[in-house]
Chain A
């Protein structure tokens, strides 16, 4: 009976810890500011932009996910350009690239110097297939083993 009690308390503390982790992880991913938009289109553009622009301080997060000061400033900048200055998405992307370079884009444009980035994985897949086919072919040509 005593043992059973212990097990129970262990599982409940585990679930409490799990709950705490879940709570934390969700709060990390929330952008805190509330912004007003004139149209639904602006809001959609805003959300898409902060999703596609990189936070340069914490380099593996986009502007939407990051709590860094710079990310906050850049979200504000995106909002200001969209709502106050009525800029379109491309103008905002150009604004960011002019200041922070193409690194700010999570989705870089397909250009000569980004070809390897875009099609490199495909290239490696093809090499893999080629290696696999030639291996299988060689196996087939081998004389069948005699039992």
Chain B
């Protein structure tokens, strides 16, 4: 190789690295919780105030959606969740994060309620145990109570189709295997 081409080569390598850097989203952090058992919490249900904890769902796959009425991107994904809940039987637990019951109820009344059960976490205590650092966040938990997937930021049709639905189909296969 000609010597004059060396700086060009270094420059090209630098450009390649920077180009890769641009495609990465620094807000998306890998969750260390994937593959771990779902963190326990004991929180009151939004409407009935009855205590709820994840262990009550043992044996069933479920989705945990963390949302708040003050969160703009929650509004963005909410319609998708409502539509999803109409056509799918999977349990969706809504964790109302750092919100007030009145505002939460008003929000659900206005936009529809996709949640099988909604729990209040006004201080964000359960949020810390689930490693929440922004809303919305969505976890998918399998029948054994293991966290299998995490969506950071609003759900989209694409993420639902390409990530959530295949995972739920996998859960069904696992359920059949477990029975045998």
**Stretch of B26-34, B41-49, B106-114, B158-166 lying at the A interface:** B26-34
Indicate the member of B31, B32, B33 with the most A CB atoms within 10 Å: B32
Closest to B29 in A: A103
**Does any Cβ of B come within 8 Å of A37's Cβ?**
no
Contacting residues, chain B, for A74 (C-beta < 8 A): 128
Tell me which residues from 24 to 83 in chain B have a Cβ below 8 Å from any Cβ of chain A. Answer: 26-27, 29-33
Nearest-neighbour CB distance to chain A for B110, whole angstroms, equals 24
**Does any Cβ of B come within 8 Å of A93's Cβ?**
no
**Does any Cβ of B come within 8 Å of A123's Cβ?**
no
Nearest-neighbour CB distance to chain B for A142, whole angstroms, equals 15
Nearest-neighbour CB distance to chain A for B3, whole angstroms, equals 11
User: Given A69-B98, A73-B128, are A56 and B31 also a contact pair (CB < 8 Å)?
Assistant: no
**Does any Cβ of B come within 8 Å of A99's Cβ?**
yes
> Which range contains the number of B residues in contact with the other chain?
10 to 19
Contacting residues, chain B, for A73 (C-beta < 8 A): 123-124, 127-128
Contacting residues, chain B, for A99 (C-beta < 8 A): 32-33, 128-131
User: Given A73-B124, A73-B128, are A56 and B32 also a contact pair (CB < 8 Å)?
Assistant: no
Inter-chain contact A100/B133, CB cutoff 8 Å: yes
Nearest-neighbour CB distance to chain A for B133, whole angstroms, equals 4
Closest to A100 in B: B131
Inter-chain contact A56/B133, CB cutoff 8 Å: yes
Contacting residues, chain A, for B123 (C-beta < 8 A): 73
Tell me which residues from 91 to 147 in chain A have a Cβ below 8 Å from any Cβ of chain B. Answer: 97-103
How would you classify the secondary structure of chain A's contact residues: helix, strand, loop or mixed? helix
Taken together as a complex, chains A and B put the C-alpha atoms of A99 and B128 apart, in Å, by 7
**Does any Cβ of B come within 8 Å of A16's Cβ?**
no
Contact with B along A61-105 (1 / 0, CB 8 A): 000000001100110010000000000000000000111111100
Contact with A along B123-150 (1 / 0, CB 8 A): 1100111110110000000000000000
Indicate the member of B30, B32, B124, B133 with the most A CB atoms within 10 Å: B133
**Does any Cβ of B come within 8 Å of A57's Cβ?**
yes
Taken together as a complex, chains A and B put the C-alpha atoms of A98 and B29 apart, in Å, by 13
B32 contact from A69, A70, A77, A101, Cβ within 8 A = A101
Nearest-neighbour CB distance to chain A for B124, whole angstroms, equals 6
Taken together as a complex, chains A and B put the C-alpha atoms of A73 and B128 apart, in Å, by 8
Closest to A103 in B: B29
Contacting residues, chain A, for B130 (C-beta < 8 A): 99
Q: Return 10 A-B CB contacts under 8 Å, by A number.
A: A56-B29, A73-B124, A73-B127, A73-B128, A74-B128, A77-B128, A98-B33, A99-B33, A99-B131, A101-B32
Interchain residue pairs A-B with the least CB separation, the first 3: A56-B133, A99-B131, A101-B32
- Contact surface of A with B, Cβ cutoff 8 Å: 56-57, 59, 69-70, 73-74, 77, 97-103
Given contacts A69-B124, A100-B133, 13 further A-B contacts (CB under 8 A): A56-B133, A59-B26, A70-B133, A70-B134, A99-B32, A99-B33, A99-B129, A99-B130, A100-B32, A100-B131, A101-B29, A101-B32, A102-B32
